[in-house]
Structures are given as structure tokens and as C-alpha cells.
Amino acid sequence: MFCPKCGKENNDESNYCFDCGFNLHSESKEPESKNYPTPEGKIFSGWASLIIMLLLGRVHNQYAIAFEIATLIISIYLMNSKNQTGKVNGIILIIVWGIWEMIGLMSRLSMANN
């Protein structure tokens, strides 16, 4: 078989390309044009987590921090997803998250200055 990554011919029994080390068996079975399913559950929980985080506001308790971490993890997961819709939602989530964290940091800095 030919390596889908570098194009070198490999023994059919080999698991990895001898030239570039590409995993021939896990990746080669999935065609390039495969439509990855939309991670709807993750998108929903990402937005739900973000909304709860915003509603909890600047109440600095363990619940707000838990939702900040959850939103961040789900956003990163979505950004790395192969589905375009998932990716876009992940980027929007992380931007809103970043702005929120920046506002929090700035308010803490201005409080320290007073």
C-alpha cells in the first residue's frame, strides 16, 4: 500500500510508514472526504457552561471557577474537532471566554490599584 501522507510504497503488513512513520491502519481507512458528525452535544454543553459562567458573574466561588474550566476544556475540544461547525463554535466560545477572563483580570488589577 502507498502511504497517504508521503506517498511512499509500503509493505501491506506494516502498521507504520517506513519513511515518515504515519500510522497506515488507523488513518487510511477514513476517506479524506468523510463528513464528520457535528458534535452537537459538546456544542450545547459548551454554550450552556459559558452562559452559567456568565450568570454566576464575578461571584468568585468554586462553582464559577468550575464552569470557567469546563467552558475552556469544551472550547479547546471543539476547536480541535474535525467538524467545521464544531470548530467555529469552539472559536466563538474561546473568544467570549477570553474577553470575560480579560475583563475579570482588569477589574482585579484596577481594584489592586485603588
Binding interface with Zn ion (CB under 5 A): 3, 5-6, 8, 17, 19-20, 22
Q: Which is nearer to Zn ion, 32 or 62 (CB)?
A: 32
Smallest distance, Zn ion to C-beta of residue 36, A: 23
Residue 23 sits at φ, ψ, to 5 deg, of: -75, 105
Smallest distance, Zn ion to C-beta of residue 6, A: 3
Q: What is the DSSP letter of 38?
A: P
Q: Which is nearer to Zn ion, 18 or 47 (CB)?
A: 18
CA distances from 62 to 33, 37, 39, 108, 114 (A): 44, 34, 28, 17, 26
The backbone region for 56, taken as left when phi is positive above 0, alpha when psi lies in -120 to 50, beta otherwise, is alpha
Smallest distance, Zn ion to C-beta of residue 30, A: 16
Q: How far is it, in rounded angstroms, from Cα 3 to Cα 6?
A: 6
Q: Which is nearer to Zn ion, 19 or 40 (CB)?
A: 19
Smallest distance, Zn ion to C-beta of residue 66, A: 43
Q: Which is nearer to Zn ion, 13 or 114 (CB)?
A: 13
